[in-house]
Amino acid sequence: VLTKKKTDKYITSKQVDNFKQMLGSIHYDIRALLVKLADRLHNMRTLKSMKPEKRMKIAGETDYFYAPLANRLGLHLVKTELENLSLKYRSPHEYEKIEQQINEYVAAHREAAEEWMEPIRQALAKNGIQATVTCDKRSVYSIWRKMQRKNLTFREVEHIRIVHIVFRNWKEQSITEKRQALRIYSLLTDLYTEKPLSVSNYLDIPKENGYRSLHCKLMGNEGRWMEVHIGSSEMLRRSN
């Protein structure tokens, strides 16, 4: 299934026909696609050793086909790494500049973020909810894509970071994942002002790749909205 067909004539192009053949393999065994994704990820990690024209071709294919495929299969970590590596080789100067800006922003606002998250941790513990609360930076590719789509400068981009609340012990409390997520959401809105109409419910209506979580935006202690994602440890495991 994984072997490319050799022919002198292609319906559209050699590259597109190979993609169609690969997608057709899913009817037989999805492991074929997983092997191709693993192979592509390895290629991207070692792309530096290839000639410039080869690097550009492989990086372009990765962004156009392999990263969306990984996303559709629910392989979020693979998708993110493929996107970042693709951008790094296609636009190295842009990538380096945005990466530096993100790191500087995170370092400058780390203390404020910790101060903002501490009351959340205390409220969760007080209500017997076992959860981790972290503030994670968005990927370089994610920021770059937002800048390109909306014609923004880095300073104009909102939500450089995302606060992730990952809870664990809902089964011990004999409630559903959804009910626990809503309990946490209620605790958050008791602590901080919520941005109107900011809730995105991916619990009842998951994304196409199966991703489930509850998103909202709350006012931060620096006068900027903080994006918060609430989900269970099992939801996180299934999306990676």
List the single range of 35-39, 101-105, 140-144 with lowest mean pLDDT.
Answer: 35-39
Q: Is residue 49 classed as helix, strand or coil in its secondary structure?
A: helix
pLDDT in tens, 33-77: 888 899 999 999 999 888 888 999 999 999 999 999 999 888 999
**What tokens appear for 152 in the block?**
């923004």
121-135 burial: b if 16+ Cβ within 10 Å, else e: eeebeeeebebebeb
Is 37 within 8 Å of 66 (Cβ atoms)? Answer: yes
The predicted model gives 196-207 an average pLDDT of: 93
Q: What is the pLDDT of residue 17?
A: 59
Cα–Cα distance, 39 to 19 (Å, whole number): 14
Residue closest to 59 by CA, chosen among 87, 34, 37: 87
Q: Is residue 223 classed as helix, strand or coil in its secondary structure?
A: coil
Cα–Cα distance, 123 to 118 (Å, whole number): 9
Q: Is the pLDDT assigned to residue 110 strictly greater than 90?
A: yes
Read off the pLDDT band of 21 (50, 70, 90): low
Q: Is the pLDDT assigned to residue 240 strictly greater than 90?
A: no
Residue closest to 134 by CA, chosen among 235, 224, 227, 238: 227
**What tokens appear for 14 in the block?**
């050699």
How many Cβ atoms are within 10 Å of 39's Cβ, its own excluded?
12
Q: Is the pLDDT assigned to residue 11 strictly greater than 80?
A: no
